[in-house]
A and B are shown apart, each in its own frame.
Chain A
Amino acid sequence: MSILEIKGLEVKYITHDGTVNAINGIDLEVDRGEALGLVGETGAGKTTTALSILGLVPNPPGKITAGEIFYDGRDLLKESEAEMRKIRGNDISMIFQDPMSALNPVLTVGDQIAEVIELHQKCSKKEAMERAMAMLEKVGIPAERATEYPHQFSGGMKQRVVIAIALACTPKVLLADEPTSALDVTIQAQVLDMMGKLQHEVGTAMILITHDLGVVADTCDKVAIMYAGEIVESGSLVDVYNHTAHPYTVGLFGSLPSLDKDVDRLQPIDGLMPSPMNLPEGCKFHPRCPDATPECAKRCPKVTEITPGHKVRCLKYEGTEG
């Protein structure tokens, strides 16, 4: 049963220079304890998706124009701000990309973790601190470092603290926005390893936002590929990685230099992502698509489920339901 379900979400930013169509109708479903990778390039609408779930899309200029987001059966878009505040950090929490700026430099890391616990769990200061220290141990930082300040930690350690804050109240859903892209590979491996273990231990569902298909392969069960505010392909790891269907996803894999195969030339996708203020008619990908037909410029393709659970938004596959 799904803990989080997004249906037909549309988000626009209305600015002086025009309307930015950040998200154009996405459907997404995450089951309890499951990890979903949300992959896309800069400007695809990944972060906006996460902010919409938390009700944090800046308004103005942002506006959610359509859709529903169900958390445990409740439509989050209809909840009051006060209700949302209770949900944020307790039921749904988020890890931001930059660990350097996500921590308050004048509070000790222990205080910062304890603060979230105190806020949501109605316990004494002392108890909150004890649980904060336990949390630090869980993310691999000795509990006695709880009295230190963020600047005394290295980048990887800070990101661990941020994760500890996010998981402090054992949320049901964790949104991780590029949690490791500011880190070096060896540190990234440590943090991902730890996150994976904790996610299973706590039983949290996770949406991992990243541009790195490798990270998703290591940590997620399902994957959704975003392009220009739409989900163009989604399914299990095996579906998307081994039976890649959408031409954009094929292009993404072709762009990656491989570590174990010899390729003379990479096969990049031609052209650039369209500006979200000026999206093409029909299929958003057709100007860059090697398989585009005249039909693609006319009609926006519907989502087709080609095998159970494997959904593709491409005219090539329409009418080939498996």
Chain B
Amino acid sequence: MSEKFLEIRNITKVFQTPEGGEVRALDDVTLDIAAGEFFILLGPSGCGKTTLLRSIAGLEYPDSGEIVLQGQRIDDKPPYDRPVNTVFQSYALFPHMTVAGNIAFGLEMENVDKAHVATRVSEALAQVRLEGYENRMPSQLSGGQQQRVALARALAKKPKVLLLDEPLSALDLKLRRGMQVELKRLQRETGITFVFVTHDQEEAMSMGDRIAVFSEGKIVQLDTPVEVYRRPVNAYVADFIGETNLIKGTVASGGIALPGGNILPTDQLAADSVIPASGPVTVAIRPEDLVLATNGMISGTVRDVIFTGDSVRVYVTVGDVEIIASLASYGTEIPAQGSQVTLNPENRAARTVAS
């Protein structure tokens, strides 16, 4: 990775609520984004990710901190002076302009000469595979097509950073998957740095080079999708990214005492798990890391079995908690509801997490 490209330094932004309270949308956030990176800001709504995106765009001014792009401070500049462009969640296409008019608008602001504008408009439309739609009005387009126009409009400006604010959230699942692939392709082809806001962890993992997981205005974890998934720093991340069984236990001799009198030996936990000398501890096990075993370590009663096609989800009551195991659809004997089963965590994938 090259040296610093987009630096977010100690950004804080506080909003006043109408009731007179305060919300720390961003609380001393610092992060570096590399050139050409597909960077994801992930978190639930209200976690500050969109505020950060809008601060980079210049639509929001942080209370303190700096935003530096290629060594130049941009946080005090108006949006029209920043070489960044945004694809809005609502698309925000100008309804009184044609598709070509929408895309040309940003270029006209740069005083690009007319002949050149036309070329760049058709270039941008080709990039998003909407050739021939120049003279349509936005109202005549489907949601997916509007999305592409919004993308083309921002890309036509050839920004240094493209900001995407949950651009796919209004599309149906199939279209969304298709657009995810296309966005990856576009990012590769253009080499533009993408900063992508989403609350969808699956989307984040499938697209991002790196993910910053936000909670209450702070970055909780910043890492590659694989690391964030495999090594969540705490229960919040483990729960937010993918599906996780979070089981509360206590440290006992030789392992961790789980509900229902089960003992999970320490040598079954991930090697880098931090195990306190005594006291309560939370164990995180992904459903797909559990397998049925004879004489397994975790025994319980099958409450429900759901066949989803590619997997079988088994809901097992263990003591006073419920554990979900996602078993491979083929080669597994599907346990009957009400039967006693024992489960084993595979490949030392279970780990302790800070709660």
Do A and B share a complex?
Answer: no
